[in-house]
A and B are shown apart, each in its own frame.
Chain A
C-alpha cells in the first residue's frame, strides 16, 4: 500500500515536474522570447555597429564612398536598430539634407523637420530590393516632404500623384519631392517591381 502510494506519488511529482517545467518554458517563450517581445524590444536592443556592413556597401554607393565633412551626426549614442550615427552619409537634395544611416542589418533614413528629426528604417535585405521612404508631414498645410532611398541598380524613379507622373532626380541613391499631400502618391523604379506608396 505504501509502495503503491509512493509509486503514485513519484509518478505524480514526475508529471507535476514536467508540467511545471513546461509551464516555465511557456512563460519564457511568451515573456522573454516571443516574436512580439522581440519586435517590441528590437529597435533599442541591437548593439551599435562599428562599420558599414558589406551588403549595405554593395547595394548603396553612398554607403561605400568615404565619409566627408558633415556626414557623421554629432552624437555617439546608438540609434534605432543599432544604427551608428557616426557612420552616416549626408545627401543634399532639392528639399534639404537627409542622412543615410546604417544599422545592424538595417538601413535608415534620418531627416529633420521643424520640431526635431525622425527615422524610417527597414531591413537591409528588404530595402535593397525596393524603396525606403521617409515622409515629413506638416499639419499646418498638409504638405509632405518625402525622401527615398533606392539601390544602385534602381534606374529611373517615377513619382505618380493624382496630378500625373514625373521622373525624379536621384543622387547618392536618394530622391526627394515636395507634395501637396501623400494621398494617392506612389513611387515606381525601373529596376524593381511593384509600386511603393508614399507614406
Chain B
C-alpha cells in the first residue's frame, strides 16, 4: 500500500513535471510564433534576409509599395541605401539606416544598397500600399 502510495505520488509528480514540460514547450512555441507574427502584422515584407547582397545590391520582387527601408546596421557608421530598381532615385543614410517613401503606392522592385562591402548581410522592409509610409 505504501508502495502504491509512493508510486502514485511519484506518478503525480511525473504528471506535474509532464505538464510543466508541455507548458514550457507551448510557451516557447507561442512566444516564438508571436515574435514572428509581430513582423507579419506590421504588413511588411522582409527581403535579403541573411543573404549576401550580390554586387552590393539586393532586390526584392516587384510589388506595389509605398516605401522600403534598410536598417540592419542601424547605429553603425555604414552607409546604407533604400530605393527602387530603376525608379530614378534612392536615399542613403550614414549611420546604417535609410528609408525611402513614395508619394503613392507604386509597382516597383525595391532595393537596398550596402555601400560598404560585398560581404555583409542586408535586411529590407517594404511598406505595402495599404500601409502608408509616414
Contact = CB atoms under 8 A, between A and B. Distances in A.
A167 B66 CA distance: 37
B28 A131 contact: no
Contacts of B20: 17, 21
Given A24-B25, A113-B89, A30 B32 contact: yes
Interface string A1-42: 011001101100110110111111111101111000101111
Interface residues of A, number: 68
B6 A134 contact: no
Interface stretch (A75-83, A89-97, A173-181): A75-83
Q: Which of B18, B42, B90, B91 neighbours the largest number of chain A CB atoms within 10 Å of its CB?
A: B91
A122 B39 CA distance: 22
B71 to A, nearest CB: 6
A116 interface: yes
Given A40-B39, A116-B103, A24 B94 contact: no
B77 A39 contact: no
Given A40-B123, A199-B115, A17 B17 contact: yes
A39 B96 CA distance: 12
A116 B102 contact: yes
Contacts of A79: 134
Contacts of A154: none
A39 B71 contact: yes
A3 to B, nearest CB: 7
B89 to A, nearest CB: 5
B101 A117 contact: yes
A123 interface: yes
Interface of B: 3, 6-7, 10-11, 13-14, 17-18, 20-22, 24-29, 31-36, 38-39, 42, 44, 46, 67, 69, 71-72, 74-75, 77, 79-83, 86-103, 115, 123, 125, 132-134
Contact of B32 (A10, A28, A85, A126): A28
A78 B87 contact: no
Contacts of A63: none
A55 interface: no
B51 to A, nearest CB: 14
Contacts of B133: 116
Contacts of A80: 69, 71, 97, 99, 134
Contacts of A197: 79, 94, 115
Nearest to B11: A6
A100 interface: no
Contact of B88 (A7, A33, A132, A140): A140
Contact of B100 (A118, A123, A131): A118
A166 to B, nearest CB: 19
A39 B75 CA distance: 11
B116 to A, nearest CB: 9
A140 B88 CA distance: 6
Given A120-B95, A134-B92, A199 B80 contact: yes
Nearest to A26: B28
Q: Which of A37, A113, A136 neighbours the largest number of chain B CB atoms within 10 Å of its CB?
A: A113
